[in-house]
Amino acid sequence: MKNTLIAVFTLVAYLPLHAQYYYKDIIGTREMNQMIKLYLDNKVSVVEATGFDGDGVKNSDFSETHNFFKDRNLLKMSNRNKTSITNQYYRFDGNGSVSSISDTSSAGISTTTYSYDSKNNPVLIINTVTDAEDSIYANEVHQWFYDAEGRPVRMLRILNNVDTTDVRFTLDDKGNVAEELPFIKKISRDKTYYYYDSKNRLTDIVRFNVKARRLLPDYMFEYSEKNQVVQKITTISTIGLGYLIWRYVFDERGLKTKEATFNRDKQMTGKIEYRYQLQL
């Protein structure tokens, strides 16, 4: 799921710029659907997020609220960061799978729609972007292909119905996606590598780092006994080779209660705490 809480830490510019399509489209969609299922199972109606700086002082410029409407198959996320206000509308089907996301702000509207196969794998993800005056329009299509066992083998990324990137995937001996290789006009680009632990949980996403001149991870993940991601490390695009640590805390229901960021010196740079209101 798109992390709307990054804004409180002004970290957008630091996240990896190279697309990992399998991670973004397949794993990201799966995480969105898991969150929606958690909200359904726990009868969540409202989520309130409060931000704090590295010293634990409340950030009065930030607020975020999730309003969950089960009867309308809708999740609305409202985010305020200083004077910027955005609203995201997540619509989901009867299975609890997201069918569309609309992201609105003063700058424009972004809409993403999702289609699934019989195994609930995303087969078509379409994103369109327009500005407030409809003077700018962009369209991006991701068309996914799977083998007979439902494992991704290929994806076509089509920009504005013209430019196409052909992304091919190779699987390891356990059926996990191990390599992602995009081709543009039959010329191969940077390869992305995916690594897993003994439980087939994704642990590292790796690519060749031009600055370091060697393979380095863009993401690293650690898990709880309940298979929840409790730590994520991301590289940051600064002059040096730095990274950012995200840590997550969950309650006994599986709902996230806190997330915090730390720099490479393991000093906290900010945190967000969540409170839940349940339907009666």
Domain with residue 81: its CATH number is 2.40.160
Residue 166 lies in a domain: yes
Residue 54 lies in a domain: yes
Total domains present in the chain:
1
Residue 215 lies in a domain: yes
In angstroms, the CA 225 to CA 214 distance is 32
Query: Digits of tens for pLDDT over the chain (280 positions)?
Result: 334 333 323 333 333 446 799 999 999 999 999 999 999 999 999 999 999 999 999 999 999 999 999 999 999 999 988 878 889 999 999 999 999 999 987 677 899 999 999 999 999 999 999 886 766 789 999 999 999 999 999 999 999 988 999 999 999 999 999 999 999 888 888 899 999 999 999 999 999 887 778 899 999 999 999 999 999 999 876 555 688 999 999 999 999 999 999 998 889 999 999 999 998 7
Q: Which helix (H) or strand (E) holds 34?
A: helix 28-41
Residue 173 lies in a domain: yes
Q: Which helix (H) or strand (E) holds 54?
A: none
Range of 50's domain?
14-278
Residue 185 lies in a domain: yes
- Concatenated DSSP letters of 182-239: EEETTEE---EEEEE-TT--EEEEEEEETTTTEEEEEEEEEE-TTS-EEEEEEEEESS
Would you state the structure tokens that stand for residue 225, as one six-digit string?
Answer: 């006994």
Residue 248 lies in a domain: yes
Grouping H, G, I as helix, E, B as strand and the rest as coil, residue 137 is strand
- pLDDT of 91 reads 98
In angstroms, the CA 187 to CA 49 distance is 45
In angstroms, the CA 272 to CA 259 distance is 5
57 φ, ψ (degrees, to nearest 5): -85, 135
pTM here is 0.88
